[in-house]
Structure 1
Amino acid sequence: MTIEHFDAIYQRAAERKGGELQLELLVSKPLSQAELQHITDDRWLAAFTMKVFQCGISWQVVRKKWPNFESLFFNFKLEPLMMLPEEIWEQKAQDPSIIRHLTKVKSIPKNAQMIHSAQFEFTSFSHMVAHWPTDNIIGLWQYLKKHGNRLGGNTGPYTLRQMGVDTFILSSDVESHLRNIGVIDSARGTKRAMQAAQKAFNHWQQQSGRSLSEISQIIAYSCGDNQVL
C-alpha cells in the first residue's frame, strides 16, 4: 500500500483554507520537553477532570462551572484529594455548584493516584509525558487508559493535545482520511487500527519534519466540512 505523500495533503489543506499562510495560522504547535516538564500535577488532574466531564456534555457548560470545580476540589491539589474518604466524594458529587455526576467525580481520586504513582517510576508525571517517544504516542494513550479512569477513547489524547503534548488525534476527519487511503480497516479503538495510524503518522513525520500534532491538524483541514469558500 502506498500512503499519500504529506506534500499532497498539505497542498489540499492550504487550498481549502485560503492559502499556506492562512493554514499555518490555524495550526498550533506542541510544547517543548522543557515546557511540559514544568506543568504541575494539579494542572494535569484538572485537565483530565475537565475532559472527563466534557464527554457527553456541552463544553461551554463545563467551562462556565469550572471555577466551582476548582474551588470544591482544592484546586486539584493531589495530597488533600487523596486523603478524602469515600463518603466525602459522594457528598461532593451532589454539590449543586458543579455538574452532579457521581462516577465522573469518582474519576478524580483515581486519576490523582495515577499521576502520583508516576513519580515512583518516571520521577514525575510531567517528566514521563515529556519524554514519552512520539513514535509510540499510542503507548501513552494506552497508559492513560490502563492506569487512569475514564481516559480511554479520545478523552486521554484530547487532554494531552490540550496540554501541549505532541500527539495526533483520531478525530472523525482524521479517521475518515485514514480509512479512505486504506491505513485503517478495523474499528478505531483496536490495537491494529492504532498501530496502523501510528505507523502512518511516523511516515508523514519523517517526510515533513513536522510534529504529530501539526500533521494531525493539517490532515483534518484537508478533508471534511471545514473548507473556506
Structure 2
Amino acid sequence: MEFKHNRKSVDVQIGTDGRARCWWCGDDQDYQHYHDTEWGEPVADDRRLFEKVCLEGFQCGLSWLTILRRRPAFRTAFLDFDFEAVAGYTTADVDRLVCDKSIIRHRGKIEASIHNASRAIEMRDTEGSLATFFWRFEPARSHVPKRRGDIPSVTDESKALSRELKRRGWKFVGPTTCYAFMQSMGIVNDHLPGCADRERIEMLRIAFPRP
C-alpha cells in the first residue's frame, strides 16, 4: 500500500484508503488495523491488561509487529491470558512453551509471565482489580504531542508504575515497557493531531469510567 505524507506533518500519513494515521503504521496492514481498532482505546478488563503487560515484556528487544502477528498463538499458549490459570503453570509447561515455535521461545520471558500471573492475583485481591491499580497512574494532565518527537519513551508516571510493579515483585516491567503499556491501554492518548483517531480516542477517554 502506498502512502503520501500529510502536507502539514510528515508524522501523519494518509493511506490509499484516505485514512490519516500516525506514522508508525507505515504501509503494514496489521499495524494499520491495530492502530485503527485498538491502540489507545481505554481498557478496564483485567485479562486484557494482564495480556498487554505480558506481551510488552515479550517485545523487549523486538518489534511490536513481531509480537502482534504472534498474538493469536500467545493467546492459545497462555489460555487467553487467564492469570488464574497461568499462575498454575509448572516447569513442564515452561519446557513445553520453550519448544513452541509459534511464540517467542525465551525462557526468561515465559517464566516472567507465569510469575506475573501470581502477582496479578495478589493485585486483584488487594486492589479489587488490576484496572483499579493501573489507572491510578494516569497523568493528572493530558499531554498532546504535536509531532512524533514530542512523544516520550518514559514519563514520571511510567517510572512510578515501573517502581511500584517491581516492588510488588513483577518482572520485565521497566519504565519504557510501562509507558508503551500506558499508550496502548488508553491511559494516555499519543495519537497525533491530524490522525483520524486522535479525537475519537479522546472522546472515549472522556467518557471512560475510571475504575
Correspondence list, 1:33-182, <5 A? 36=43, 38-39=44-45, 41-132=46-137, 134-135=139-140, 137=157, 138-147=159-168, 148-166=170-188
Q: CA deviation at 1:61?
A: 2.3
Q: Matches of 1:80 and 1:64 in 2, distance apart?
A: 24
From 3, 12, 17, give the equivalent of 2:9. 17
In structure 2, do the counterparts of structure 1 residues 104 and 130 end up closer, same or farther at CA, with 3 Å as the change threshold?
same
In structure 2, the gaps of 5 or more residues are 1-6, 15-19, 23-34, 141-155, 194-211
TM (normalized to structure 2)? 0.59
Task: Flag the structure with larger Rg.
Answer: 1
Q: CA deviation at 1:139?
A: 2.2
Question: Residue type matched to 2:99 in 1?
Answer: Q
Q: Matches of 1:49 and 1:100 in 2, distance apart?
A: 14
> Which one scores higher on RCO, CA 8 angstroms, separation ≥ 6?
1
Q: Matches of 2:134 and 2:62 in 1, distance apart?
A: 27
Identity of aligned residues (%): 20
CA deviation map 1:72-121 (0-9, x unaligned) = 11111111111122232122122122121100111111221222211233
In structure 1, the gaps of 5 or more residues are 1-14, 167-212, 219-229
How many pairs were matched up? 151
Question: Residue type matched to 1:17 in 2?
Answer: S
CA deviation map 1:181-220 (0-9, x unaligned) = xxxxxxxxxxxxxxxxxxxxxxxxxxxxxxxx45x968xx
Task: Work out whether residues 45 and 76 of structure 1, in 8 Å CA contact, stay in contact via their aligned partners in 2.
Answer: yes
Q: How much is the aligned-residue C-alpha RMSD, in angstroms? A: 3.3
Runs (4 or more) in structure 1 with deviation over 4 Å come to 28-31
Question: Residue type matched to 2:183 in 1?
Answer: R
Question: Residue type matched to 2:165 in 1?
Answer: L
In structure 2, do the counterparts of structure 1 residues 133 and 17 end up closer, same or farther at CA, with 3 Å as the change threshold?
closer
Q: Matches of 1:25 and 1:64 in 2, distance apart?
A: 20
TM (normalized to structure 1)? 0.55
